[in-house]
Amino acid sequence: MKRICLLLTVVLVATVFCFPDESQAACKRKKATVVAAYEFILHQGRQESASEHSFSIVLEWKSKTPPQSFFWSHDGALLPCRVMQYPADGRVTQTLNVELRPEAIEKGTKFVLVPMVGGKYAIPESIGTPENHTVYFSIDDKKWWSLTPKTIIKKITAAP
């Protein structure tokens, strides 16, 4: 009887820890990791003028399957992202010039996401209510993964 109880306990524990549901991240494999996230703040000359804010998120792709699309959530909006080549010198600025096609991203590739502002974009239903400052991405347009940067580095500049 003790052996049966012990066996059932082991099976139950193994089921809970090795077969998580969608909300558990214990056994999930990472598809990508956040290397860095930047918020560029551009002051428009006078202090009372509104500042312009833009974001750049550096990711490293970990999956063998290339991504299909990326979104960035900010202040209740879900913005589609342009995928830009990671600079060879590692300096991420507001002006990145080389765009990548998501299907060209391979395992181990570093790239920069630049959210596109303006316009209205449909939020994929499977994302639900997006969390602020979170990257959402899909591989097959059916399931969405999310990554939240631990910190966002602020880079403040003044208008010329």
CATH of domain 24-158: 2.60.40
| Least confident piece of the model among 38-52, 60-74, 108-122 | 38-52
Is the pLDDT at 141 greater than 90, yes or no? Answer: no
Is the pLDDT at 37 greater than 70, yes or no? Answer: yes
Per the listing, tokens 């809970």 go with 16
Between vectors from CA 143 to CA 137 and to CA 146, what angle results, nearest 5°? 40
Cβ count within 10 A of residue 123:
14
To the nearest 10°, report the CA torsion of 108, 26, 22, 14.
130
Sheet containing 110-115, strands listed edge to edge, beginning at the edge strand earlier in sequence: 144-147, 134-138, 69-74, 77-85, 110-115, 52-61, 32-43, 153-158
Phi-psi region of 119 (alpha: psi -120 to 50; beta: other; left: phi over 0): left
Residue 140 has phi, psi (to 5 degrees) of -130, 10
**pTM, rounded to two decimals:** 0.74
pLDDT of residue 45: 72
Is the pLDDT at 22 greater than 90, yes or no? Answer: no
Phi-psi region of 2 (alpha: psi -120 to 50; beta: other; left: phi over 0): alpha
Q: Side chain identity at 126, as an amino acid letter? A: S
| Least confident piece of the model among 8-12, 75-79, 80-84, 96-100 | 8-12
Q: How confident is the model at residue 132 (pLDDT cuts 50, 70, 90)?
A: very high
> Looking at residue 96, what DSSP letter applies?
-
